[in-house]
Chains A and B, each alone.
Chain A
Amino acid sequence: MSDVVVVDYGAGNTRSVRAALSRLGRTSEVLSDPQAIRGAQFVVLPGVGSARSAMEHLNQTGAAEALRERFANGGPTLGICLGMQLALETSEEDGGVEGIGLLSGHVRRLHTERVPRLGWALVEPWGDAYYFAHSFAGESPDSVATSEGVTVAVQRGPFFGVQFHPEKSGAAGLDFLERCLSPA
């Protein structure tokens, strides 16, 4: 069995996530099979695409329910970008979408000076710069890091979600991924 299951939801750039995992010496496979998601050592919920089509795919395949069971059983999971947003309760993208609901909070359209918010930005309190490309962001009591006032990381129990793309954030991104994969 692979070290990491990357959840497939029909749209999305899973190749870059897998390439980053492989640079860290981890094997991975792209699946939406609920049993594999429940049993995996580590799961990544990646993020490109639209919230509605992603949730439809996750609900139809049973992956959403498997992610909830995995969360309840303490299985470590990383959500990236849309993958972080989907873990919250609702999103106002696509006219309103119910999320997986692992964490409290809601996803709202950004009102920053330029939208999409594109490029590298410093994340506080961590200090490093990571790459962002988003038009929506989460608002959550489980926020653990911000960037220019925007919530960019959430954590509750075994779920960690980040708005930036660690797989596209150079050495800082790989270091972050490694910390997620091998908790102290």
Chain B
Amino acid sequence: MPLARLIPCLDVAHGRVVKGVSFVGLRDVGDPVELATFYSAGGADELVFLDIAATPNDTATLTSVVAQVADVLDIPFTVGGGVRSVDDATRIIESGADRVSLNSAALADPSLITAIANRFGSQAVVVAIDAGDGVVHTHGGRVATTTPTVPWAVEAANRGAGEILLTSIRQDGRRTGFDLELTVAVRSAISIPVIASGGAGSAQHVADALRVADAALVASIVHENPAGLAGLRREIERCGVRLRPIKENR
């Protein structure tokens, strides 16, 4: 197995980073490019950008941000939010993103997963699942569907998804630890990797998640102290989870 990954997630709206990023050490907290560089230097293994205000009019803005990030970042990154068609995915990947993340668009039309995977390979397609009470939720976790979580993950994998980004809406934002039971239930039903998300409040929480998942998504725990990312990595390793050795920056 490749090494466990620690993935900071940045929410963006209209080309700016929003929500909860502490300003310590940053000239412009809203600049996705500066934050991306900062987290990359701090040892992020990968980044996820979620466009939380994606509207069709924002396409050009998002594409331009992706291109600017790609020009400075030397680690992989995934872009989600507002990917509704193969054309959307193509624009984002050709602008330099490694992967796109699909959420409600994949639920509405699961064939979109296959179409993007056929064009760019499964490794370029992440399916994000917001899960709670055994079912998939939409609209940022506010609306419950009737689709059960585990069978949807299995279908997404069968249709060509390369990874599942699994968020527990019960744990999200509570900082009391990941939903390990949910993570195990989904991951043991499929053979593609799983990113656990929702609930990171400490290094121990992240380490616990990384024992049952392939990667952990972190948000507020790093955004409150972006400079603390390197320290967080060391603490996770002290909890017994091996992360990648970081080579000194050139």
Contacts and interface: CB of A to CB of B under 8 A. Distances in A.
Given A121-B2, A132-B2, A116 B122 contact: yes
Interface in A143-183: 148, 165, 167-175
Contacts of B72: 19
B94 A119 contact: no
Contacts of A13: 70, 93-94, 96-98
Contacts of A120: 2-3, 5, 45, 244
Interface string B23-63: 00000000000000000100001100000000000000000
A89 B67 CA distance: 35
B121 A170 contact: no
Interface residues of B, number: 43
A31 interface: no
Interface residues of A, number: 39
Given A20-B74, A119-B45, A135 B122 contact: yes
Contact of A15 (B95, B121, B162, B215): B95
A118 interface: yes
Contacts of A19: 70-72, 74, 96
Contact of B247 (A48, A114, A119, A171): A171
Contacts of B76: 131, 133, 165, 168
B121 A135 contact: yes
B114 to A, nearest CB: 13
29 contacts: A11-B120, A15-B70, A15-B95, A16-B70, A19-B70, A19-B72, A23-B250, A49-B121, A50-B121, A113-B191, A115-B192, A116-B122, A118-B193, A119-B4, A119-B5, A119-B193, A122-B3, A132-B2, A133-B98, A133-B123, A133-B162, A135-B121, A148-B1, A168-B75, A170-B246, A170-B249, A171-B246, A174-B74, A174-B250
